[in-house]
Structure formats: structure tokens, C-alpha cells
Structure 1
Amino acid sequence: MTTPSTPAPYQQHPGVPGYVSPVPLRRATLLDALASEWTKIRSVRSTIWTLGVMVVLVVGFGALIALALRSVDLPEGESPVSLGFVGVLLGIIPVITLGVMTIASEYGTGMIRTTLTACPSRARVLAAKGIVFFLLTFAITLVATALVSAAISGILGGSTAGSVWLGATVGVSAYVALLGLLALGVGSLVRHSAGAITIMIGVVLLPLVMALFMMSEGLRDVQQFLLEYSIPSQLAIFYGTPMGEDGPTGWESLGLMGALVALVLGLAFLVQHKRDV
């Protein structure tokens, strides 16, 4: 009588002689980590609430402002879609909140231990979280900015140049998603939701607020720098209404934010391997 051989796709468990695993044993990959993070981010209520609030703020405020200004002529050369700026600026808050919570909440609840047990590679876990968060946020923000731009154009009429339309949708969406990715990196470093969210709100608002109170002539250059490189000003560039004349133009602000995100995430990767869970 011959002994049946172990099926090819399966392997015996190394620690239990005679036991054959019903699940194929293979090395985990980044795709597995991506699938895990996608399951987590889409199954928690905070994702639906934060991104839902972001869509409501972006579309709602843009449409309300357009309705309020139906009888007002816009300044010469200003595109109607620039009225969506206020809604996007408010919509940043839910995005950075979700970015922080994507990783910091796991440290707060202890869920990170389970995550790292399933996927011991900390770099892979952080990379998977970043990729899933960026793609999801970019897609939802793109839908919201396209809707509000179409709504504003329909309410106020007038033509919008293709470059401005592209900036107000794709450009703004990419910038907001990168900003959320920056929040994720800060959350990984701080490991505390409230603290990381407070830091990110300061990053978004503090430079502009400081600039508004710099009335001294000796601080004029500093004031101008803060105005031009503040996040609200960087967003305004995509609408063709920057707050300064010498700051970055066109899509350069995306490169600046991308470099900052790369720096923070690189630091987070290094710190991940030097800390206990």
C-alpha cells in the first residue's frame, strides 16, 4: 500500500510533524499587504465619515458660494472654478485627520501588533498604508473637485481654460492626497492621533496666520515667504490665484509637497525599525 503524497501546492507545517496545512505556504508580498490595508481602510466607519465630510465641504461650499455670487462679475481674468478654493481648504481637515488615523489609531488600540504579526516587514506595512491611502484619497478628491467645478461653471457660466480646469481637479486632488500622505507620515512618527492632527493643522494654518500679523517692514521678506509657501497659497496656485508673485508657479508646488512627503516618510521608515511596537 502506497502512502499518498502531499499535494504539490501545500506543505507540511515545519513545527508540527505529520500536519499538512490546508492553506498554501508562500512568502507574503506587497500585494498581500495592499489587500490587507484596503480591507481595513474600507471597512472602518472613520473612512466613510471623513471622506464623506470632505466631499460635502468641497462640493457644498463651492456651490453655495457660486449661488451667492450669481449676480456679481468676477475680476478680470479669474476663472469661475476658483470659487471652489474655500471648500477645498476646509476639506483638507478631514483628509489629514484620516491620514493620521490610518496609522496612529492602530498604535492607540494595539492593533499594530496584529498587523506586524501578519506582516513582520514594517517597511512593507507603511508602504502599503501609504499607497492605499493616497490612491483612495486622490480618487475621492478628484470626484469632488470635478463635481464642484462643473457645478460652479453651470451656475455662473463662462469658459474655463483647460489648464485651469486640469489644475482645479487633477492638480488639487494630487496635492490634497500628498498632504494626507504627509499626515500619515507624521502619525507614524508621533503615534498619537490628537498630537499628530494638531501638528498637521499647525502646518496648514500657522504660516499664513503668522504672515498676517507681521506688520514690521523688517519682516516684510519673511512675511512674503510665508504667504507664498503656505499651503493655502500653494493650493491657490492651481486655481490661477496665487498669494504672491515670486513663489512657485504651475505644478511646482506638487514637487515641493512631494519632496516634503518623501522626507517625512523616509524618516518614518527609519524610525519604524528603531522603535518597539
Structure 2
Amino acid sequence: MSLLRDPRPMSKADGTGPEGFGLALRAEWTKLRTAEGTGWLLLLAVTLTVAVGCGTAKAVKCPDTRCGQDAVKLALTGVTVGQAVIAVFAVLAVSGEYGTGMIRTTLTAVPNRLTVLIAKATGLTTVVLAFGTVAVLASLLAGRYILPGNGFTEAHGYAPLSLADGPTLRAAAGSVLYLGLIALIGLGVAMAVREAATAIGIALGLLYLFPVVTQVVNDPEWQRHLQRIAPMPAGLAVQATVNPSGMPIGPWAGLGVLAAWAAAAMLVGGLLLQRRDA
């Protein structure tokens, strides 16, 4: 509401300049910080990511040098679960405003809707990247201590997990970016759909439906094609540290596919935000 009382000229506060964007960004940060359940959702995302990673690391054995497992990917398995909470968090961050009618106040204070969208995306991804970093680092740390007890030792060709190792660093950084892109998909879908339950269903469907379809399809060539274009399988290719050249898509190329999905979701959400009434 403080934006409505801004005594400066509207050109400064409507998002047409850096000051307007700064005001919009501060407003979005305040909403994220004070929204009910926000902190708990982010903590749940971190907890699930680390817990599932620990469970997987504890369950998988490497009895000899020919086990062929990807230790880094095992430690980061929890990202496949934590991403669901991140998607829900992103959807609720937007749909909650539409549900309460707060979006009208936002658009009155900052009439430039592109500025509103960019501010929301910036605030949301900053928070998700911060918590994602904690989740990924904690998962790798847990894997570093758990995996050697299951045979992932130097004698079997596995050095302790360390960010000093190039592929491990790429997998860690890529996993954090992956979660940030998932948040943008949730944001874009919520902007387009507005209604929380429907937006959550669409966002989670985009993530988890493709892997199910891939398993149903019997043609190996079609399976490989689906893995190259599906958001989750393509994006998570960035975690591969064992024989990445044998993957359907390369690590960074796969993350690029996910980025394209996020860009498409944001584009559709942004266009609908521009054309529709609040």
C-alpha cells in the first residue's frame, strides 16, 4: 500500500524507470516474506530434497568397480521430489494475489505490467535459488559421508564427492538453476491460469507426465526423442557425471530445453497478464 502513497511522479513509480522497478521488487519481496506458509514450503522443499537424496544414497550399493552408478546423481535424486514443492510455491505466490484481489493493488501501484512480471520473477527465483543452493549442497555433503559406506570408494573408482571436481560442480550448479527454472514455469502457468489448483495440476503435469509417457512408449527412438524435449528428463541431464555422452541429450543442452519451457510459460503468462483485466 505504501506504493499508492508514493509522492514522486508516476513516471518514477509506474515501472518505467529503475526506481519504479526497485519499488516493485521491494513490494514483491515483502509479499513473499509475509505470505502465510511461504517459509514452510521452502523448508519442506529443502527437507524433501535432502531426505530423498540421503535415502537413495543409503539404499544403492556399489559392490565392485563395474557397478556403473552415478554417485553425484544418486546424491541429488531428491531434486526430483523437491521440485514439486518449488512448483507449488511459485504457483501460490501468484494465484494467492488473484484469490485475495491484491493483484489490483499491485497493478494500481505499478501499472507497467511487464515490470510487475519481471519483479515477480526476480524475487521468486532469487529466493528459490538461495534455498536450492542449501538443498543441493546439503545433499552432496550427505552423499559424501553416506556413499563410501555402500561401496562408493576410491578402490571402486569413486572419489569422495567434492565441488573441486568439474562434473560435480556442474551437476550442483545445474541442479540449483534447474530449481530456479521450475519456479519460472510455475510462475508463468499461474499467471496464465490464475486459479491455484488448476495451475498446480498443469505445472506438475508438465514435469511428471512426460516420464510416464516415455515409459509407456515401446519405441526406443521415440523414448529418446521424448527424453530430449521433456522438461524434467532433459533438465536433469545436467546432473549426469558418468558417461554423459551416452545420454539422450547433453547436460547443458538439456538445461537449455528446460529454459525454453520456462521462457514459453513466462511468455504466455506475460501476454495474458497484459491483455486481461486484473
1:275 is aligned to 2:276: yes
Measure, in 1, the Cα distance between the counterparts of 2:189 and 2:253. 23
Residue 93 of structure 1: aligned partner: 84
SS at match of 1:247: coil
Gaps of 5+ in 1: 1-20
State whether residues 237 and 247 of structure 2, in contact with CA within 8 Å, keep that contact through their aligned partners in structure 1: no
Whole-angstrom CA distance in 2 between matches of 1:93 and 1:143: 17
For 2:229, the equivalent position in structure 1 comes to 229
* 161-170 vs 37-46, greater mean Cα deviation: 161-170
Structure 1 residues 120, 233: CA separation in 2 closer, same or farther (over 3 Å shift)? same
Candidates 124, 131, 135, aligned match of 1:140: 131
Distance 1:24-1:232 versus aligned 2 partners, 3 A rule: closer
**CA drift at 1:211:** 1.6
Q: Sort the Cα spacing of 1:237 and 1:75 in 2 relative to 1 into closer, same or farther, 3 A.
A: farther
Change (3 A) 1:73 1:110: farther
Match of 2:102 among 108, 111, 118: 111
SS where residue 78 of structure 2 aligns? Answer: helix
Question: Aligned partners of 1:267, 1:241: CA distance in 2, in Å?
Answer: 37
Q: Aligned-pair distance for 1:98?
A: 0.9
2:165 aligned with 1:182: no
Q: Please list, as runs of the form range in 1=range in 2, the aligned pairs for 1:45-194 lying within 5 A after superposition.
A: 45-69=36-60, 72=63, 76=67, 78-157=69-148, 158=153, 159=159, 160=161, 162-194=165-197
Please tell me the residue identity of whatever aligns with 2:184. L
Cα contact 1:224–1:244 (8 A) shared by 2: no
Equivalent pair of 2:50/2:138 in contact (CA under 8 Å): yes
Q: Quote the Cα distance in structure 1 between the aligned partners of 2:116 and 2:101.
A: 15
Aligned 8 A contact 2:244 2:251 in 1: no
CA-CA distance at 1:42 after TM superposition: 1.2
Q: Is the 8 A contact 1:80 1:153 kept in 2?
A: no
- The question of whether the paired residues in 2 share the 8 Å contact of 1:134 and 1:177 is answered with yes
User: Is the 2:29–2:123 Cα contact (8 Å) retained in structure 1?
Assistant: yes
Distance 1:77 1:163, change over 3 A: farther
**Superposition deviation, residue 102 in structure 1:** 1.3
* CA apart distance, 1:185: 0.4
Q: 1:201 maps to what in 2?
A: 204
Matches of 1:135 and 1:59 in 2, distance apart? 20
SS in 2 for 1:240: coil
Structure with the larger helix share: 2
> Aligned pair count?
253
- Structure 2 gaps of 5+ residues are 14-19, 154-158
Paired residues of 2:90 and 2:183 also in contact (CA < 8 A): yes
Residue type of the alignment partner of 2:266: L
Separation in 2, partners of 1:166, 1:123: 34
* SS class of match (2:251): coil
Residue 262 (1) aligns with residue 273 (2): no
Q: What is the TM-score of this pair, normalised by structure 1? A: 0.82
Q: Is the 8 A contact 1:233 1:242 kept in 2?
A: no
CA offset at residue 181 of structure 1? Answer: 0.5
Percent pairwise identity: 32
Change (3 A) 1:117 1:268: same
Distance 1:77 1:92, change over 3 A: same
Output the amino acid matched with 2:224: Q
Per the TM alignment, residue 155 of structure 1 is displaced from its structure 2 partner at its CA by 2.0
Tell me how far apart the structure 1 counterparts of residues 24 and 248 of structure 2 sit (CA, whole Å): 39
**Equivalences for residues 239-258 of structure 1 within 5 A:** 239-240=240-241, 245=246, 247-258=248-259
Counterpart in the other structure of 1:16: none
RMSD: 2.4
Shift of 1:240: 2.8
- 2:26 matched to which residue of 1? 35
Q: Return closer, same or farther for 1:120/1:145 CA change in 2, 3 Å cut-off.
A: same
- Report the TM-score, using the length of structure 2 for normalisation: 0.82
